[in-house]
């Protein structure tokens, strides 16, 4: 720690710089004579040089002082110091050449220094001045760096981002990490070295963890192959290796990031699906310059849709929701992130026909993305009348008004719980699907339904619940160790909704490729490991039993449905049989039952409309008998 407190006087730095310059001059003469000069030649050259040496020192002193190369803190030498030194040395050499010309033509016929000496002296002087400074800087950094190594680190990605990550960590004086190498998916890079560190293929990860005692892996690839990334993460989790991730360059400050920005990997990164590629041109052609209404705009999917749609520069974006505070937050975020976006905040309830009628007649939306709904299975199981009022009657209000106001396209956000429903919520969404589909032929409005599973990180989903339970020390509650679910991220879901919505011609139900179903208990275990905790030692998992209406396994298609491929590899079209004409009459009768507040009667009518609705673990199972 001596260098950290040492501050040399400026005159000492100037004296050392002049001494290094004289050494550079001596080196230049030695090179000029190829180390073979005899005593006679040395005397002759010294007679010429002795008349120049004083001028050499004076010129160097004046130029160095003018360029203030002695002012920089040597232990913090930067590229700006480099520029000053090179420029000062160059000006010195030009000055010597000018004085040499004057001496040779107007005095004794000798130049100050031979041209070859001037060139060599310039290069040697720059190298010595810079080399001495960077040597001091390196010694200083090493002297103040923590000698306690807590983590042995592998960097995943041997590209530019990986190299920047290495340099950032090494530059951090408080870092207690030792980088032992890189791993990369490219077999061509395997066996090479990057700034002195070995590059290994990712297939060697497990053996490296054991051989080198790796305790931390940093993902530095900005767009890694999701399948390869998933395998790397799985190996790390299995071997109790912490995983961190370098942030996107968009969040770097002035093109640089600090080691403090390297954060723990999120559970979202474990999906392992290929990135979604959208038909941006088609979506832009559909949405740009149009008035677009998003219902449930303050919710997870609704707000996600708003952010996606905002990029396509609609003429006006109408944000409808009854949740005041979340709408206010969304408003502030849009003002910050999309300052030129023309949008309108509307607080209202889709269950109010008059309020919705005023909205449609006032703004005349051409596109409607309907994301407003009650979605929590246990709550709707206890409150069927509310599921009926919002999910069914609310949707009917919007569908009818869309037809009356000649909306071009109506995209309904549905759920995989509408497939072979075992609960009131799923059944209510299936009935809403039926009403929207059956309305496709009633006017000029095209009705398109999109159906997908659970969304990671959405309000009330299992991920935020597990996070809170982990923060509180547990236990993590899982209903059944056999329960599996399909998952996708909010951006993925919203992108696919836009793609499916714009490709739809009317009357379709689009289902999304949700990837592989994931065991909820496995998800909980991974989140525990990603949090740096140990199952049954730091936190426990508690099995609570299935909730009313809950399924063990979710489905995306019913027994009566098949799928057809579309031009997008992650979007399929459900091939379904037409619903009987009297279904609209049945749905209207169901809506009228709201006034009775008779839950059993409401659920029974739902089961008549959706025969595949078989209650599970619910008080309504008796209605199936």
Here the CATH number for the domain that contains residue 387 is 3.40.50.720
Q: How many CA atoms lie within 13 A of 119 on its CB side?
A: 5
Q: Residue 488 in 3-state DSSP?
A: strand
84 found inside a domain: yes
Nearby residues of 20 by Cβ (< 8 Å), 6 or more positions away = 125, 128, 129, 132
54: which 2 tokens?
Answer: 């004083």
466: which 2 tokens?
Answer: 């597990």
Same domain, 122 and 164: no
347 found inside a domain: yes
Q: Give residue 216's pLDDT.
A: 86
What is the value of pTM for the model shown? 0.67
Distance CA 410, CA 432 (A): 13
- What value does the CA radius of gyration of the chain take, rounded to a whole number of Å? 36
464 found inside a domain: no
User: What domain count does the chain have?
Assistant: 3
For the chain, the distance separating the N- and C-terminal CA atoms, rounded to the nearest angstrom, is 82
Q: Residue 293 in 3-state DSSP?
A: strand
Same domain, 578 and 433: yes
Same domain, 252 and 342: no
Same domain, 234 and 183: yes
Same domain, 131 and 197: no
Domain boundary among the residues 144, 169, 200 is at 144
Q: Give residue 25's pLDDT.
A: 76
Q: Give residue 329's pLDDT.
A: 93
469 found inside a domain: no
Distance CA 92, CA 60 (A): 6
10 Å Cβ neighbour count for 604?
15
Residues identified as active-site? 417
294: which 2 tokens?
Answer: 């998003």
Same domain, 48 and 71: yes
Distance CA 618, CA 422 (A): 9
274 DSSP 8-state letter: P
Cα separations (Å) of 177 from 248, 270, 381?
22, 25, 52
Distance CA 342, CA 27 (A): 70
300-310 and 324-337 helices cross at what angle (nearest 10)?
20
Q: Give residue 567's pLDDT.
A: 76
Distance CA 238, CA 217 (A): 13
Task: Note the helical H segments in 185-256.
Answer: 205-212, 226-238
Q: Give residue 1's pLDDT.
A: 43
- H or E segment and range at residue 182: strand 177-184
56 found inside a domain: yes
Q: Are 515 and 496 in contact (CB under 8 A)?
A: no
Cα dihedral 548, 558, 452, 507 sign: negative
Domain boundary among the residues 95, 128, 144 is at 144
Distance CA 448, CA 510 (A): 8
Same domain, 355 and 497: yes
222 DSSP 8-state letter: S
- Going by DSSP bridges, is the β-strand pair 291-295/263-264 parallel, antiparallel, or unpaired? unpaired
| Domain, as residue range, for 129 | 2-144
Q: Where does residue 382 rank: exposed (0-12), middle (13-18), buried (19+ CB within 10 A)? A: middle
443 DSSP 8-state letter: S
41 found inside a domain: yes
470 found inside a domain: no
Q: Give residue 2's pLDDT.
A: 44
10 Å Cβ neighbour count for 297?
28
Same domain, 138 and 156: no
Same domain, 158 and 47: no
Regions in the chain scoring below 50 on pLDDT = 1-4
467: which 2 tokens?
Answer: 């996070």
Distance CA 381, CA 97 (A): 93
10 Å Cβ neighbour count for 54?
9
At 516-569, the pLDDT tens digits run: 778 888 888 888 887 778 888 888 999 988 888 777 776 655 555 567 777 777
Same domain, 134 and 85: yes
115-144 and 10-32 helices cross at what angle (nearest 10)?
130
Same domain, 302 and 226: no
Q: Give me the residue label for tokens 């289902």.
A: 511
Would you give the distance in Å from CA 302 to the centre of its chain? 20
Q: Residue 316 in 3-state DSSP?
A: strand
Q: Residue 317 in 3-state DSSP?
A: strand
308 found inside a domain: yes
603: which 2 tokens?
Answer: 């659920």
Q: Give residue 342's pLDDT.
A: 95
Same domain, 506 and 391: yes
Q: Give residue 562's pLDDT.
A: 66
10 Å Cβ neighbour count for 110?
15
Q: Give residue 290's pLDDT.
A: 94
Domain boundary among the residues 222, 239, 265 is at 265
Distance CA 610, CA 579 (A): 10
Q: Where does residue 3 rank: exposed (0-12), middle (13-18), buried (19+ CB within 10 A)? A: middle
Strand partners, 216: 153, 242
Q: Give residue 66's pLDDT.
A: 75
């Amino acid at each position: 720690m001596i260098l950290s407190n040492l501050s040399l006087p400026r005159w000492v730095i100037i004296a050392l710089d002049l001494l290094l310059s004289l050494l550079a001059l001596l080196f230049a003469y030695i090179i000029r004579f190829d180390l073979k000069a005899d005593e006679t030649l040395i005397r002759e050259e010294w007679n010429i040089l002795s008349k120049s040496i004083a001028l050499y020192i004076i010129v160097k002193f004046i130029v160095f002082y003018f360029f203030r190369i002695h002012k920089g803190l040597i232990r913090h030498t930067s590229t700006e110091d480099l520029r000053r030194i090179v420029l000062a040395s160059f000006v010195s050499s030009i000055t010597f050449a000018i004085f040499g010309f004057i001496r040779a033509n107007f005095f004794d016929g000798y130049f100050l220094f031979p041209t070859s000496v001037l060139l060599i002296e310039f290069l040697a002087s720059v190298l010595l001045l810079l080399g001495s400074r960077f040597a001091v800087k390196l010694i200083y950094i090493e002297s103040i760096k923590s000698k306690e190594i807590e983590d042995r680190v592998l960097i995943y990605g041997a590209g530019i981002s990986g190299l920047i990550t290495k340099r950032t960590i090494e530059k951090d004086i408080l870092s207690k990490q030792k980088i032992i190498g890189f791993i990369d998916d490219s077999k061509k890079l395997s066996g090479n070295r990057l700034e002195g560190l070995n590059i290994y293929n990712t297939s060697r990860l497990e053996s490296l963890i054991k051989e080198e005692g790796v305790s931390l892996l940093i993902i530095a690839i900005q767009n890694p192959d999701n399948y390869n990334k998933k395998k790397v993460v799985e190996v790390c989790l299995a071997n109790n290796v912490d995983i961190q991730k370098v942030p996107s360059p968009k969040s770097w400050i002035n093109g640089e990031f600090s080691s403090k920005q390297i954060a723990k990997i999120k559970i979202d990164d474990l999906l392992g699906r290929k990135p979604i590629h959208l038909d941006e041109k088609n979506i832009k052609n559909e949405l740009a310059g149009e008035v677009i209404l998003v219902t449930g705009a303050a919710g997870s999917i609704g707000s996600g849709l708003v952010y996606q749609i905002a990029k396509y520069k609609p003429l006006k974006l109408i944000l409808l929701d009854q949740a005041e505070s979340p709408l206010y937050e969304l408003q502030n975020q849009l003002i910050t992130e999309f300052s030129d976006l023309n949008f309108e905040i509307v607080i209202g309830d889709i269950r109010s026909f008059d309020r919705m009628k005023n909205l449609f007649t006032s703004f005349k939306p051409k596109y409607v993305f309907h994301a407003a709904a009650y979605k929590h299975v246990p709550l709707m199981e206890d409150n069927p009348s509310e599921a009926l009022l919002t999910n069914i009657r609310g949707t009917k209000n919007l569908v009818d008004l869309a037809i009356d106001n000649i909306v071009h396209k109506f995209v309904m956000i549905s759920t995989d719980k509408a497939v072979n429903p075992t609960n009131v919520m799923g059944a209510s969404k299936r009935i809403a699907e039926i009403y929207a589909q059956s309305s496709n032929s009633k006017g000029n409005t095209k009705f398109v339904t999109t159906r997908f599973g659970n969304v990671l990180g959405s309000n009330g989903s299992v991920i935020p619940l597990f996070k809170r339970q982990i923060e509180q020390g547990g236990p993590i509650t899982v209903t059944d160790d056999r329960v599996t679910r399909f998952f996708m991220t909010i951006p993925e879901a919203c992108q696919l909704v836009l793609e499916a919505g714009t490709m739809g011609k009317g009357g379709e139900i689009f289902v999304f490729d949700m990837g592989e179903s994931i065991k909820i208990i496995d998800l909980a275990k991974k989140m525990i490991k990603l949090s740096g905790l140990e199952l049954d030692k730091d936190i426990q998992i508690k099995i609570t039993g299935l909730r009313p209406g809950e399924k063990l396994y979710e489905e995306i298609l019913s027994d009566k449905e098949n799928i057809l491929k579309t031009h997008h590899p992650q979007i399929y079209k459900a091939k379904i049989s037409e619903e009987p004409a009297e279904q609209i009459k049945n749905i209207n009768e169901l809506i009228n039952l709201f006034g009775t507040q008779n839950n059993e009667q409401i659920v029974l009518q739902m089961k008549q409309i959706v025969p595949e609705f078989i209650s599970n673990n619910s008080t309504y199972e008796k209605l199936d008998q």
